[in-house]
């Protein structure tokens, strides 16, 4: 199993408890069986880490999108207020 931390979060926090238990159980079975099962467990663990990284990226992107939308809504409202002010000034000038 890979034990290289990819961020400030420890590896054990990235791996679900069930997979941690499975890794512990794997260390208790005879080597002839452990050799067959270990690569499969490693693949599942890597897949889980990859899914968590993707989920984190998606959550970050959604947060950024929400922030961008707030800025756009603020800008739109400011533009509408400015347009209304200029329209009123134009009407006063034409009168």
| DSSP tally for the chain: helices H, then strands E | 3, 0
Going 27 to 9 to 14 to 18, the CA torsion angle's sign is: positive
pLDDT in 10s for each residue of the chain, 95 residues: 444 444 444 555 678 899 999 999 999 999 999 999 999 999 999 999 999 999 999 999 999 999 999 999 999 999 999 999 999 999 999 87
Residue 63 located in a structural domain: yes
Residue 6 located in a structural domain: no
Q: Which residues span the domain enclosing 66? A: 11-94
Residue 79 located in a structural domain: yes
Residue 33 located in a structural domain: yes
Number of structural domains (the chain) is 1
CA dihedral 76, 79, 81, 84 (to 10 degrees): -120
Residue 4 located in a structural domain: no
């Amino acid at each position: 199993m890979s034990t290289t931390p990819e961020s400030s979060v420890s590896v054990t926090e990235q791996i679900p408890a069930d997979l941690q238990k499975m890794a512990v159980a794997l260390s208790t079975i005879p080597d002839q069986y452990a050799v067959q099962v270990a690569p499969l467990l490693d693949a599942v663990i890597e897949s889980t880490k990859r899914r968590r990284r993707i989920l984190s990226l998606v959550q970050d992107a959604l947060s950024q999108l929400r922030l961008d939308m707030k800025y756009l809504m603020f800008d739109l409202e400011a533009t509408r207020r400015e347009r209304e002010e200029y329209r009123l000034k134009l009407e006063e000038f034409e009168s």
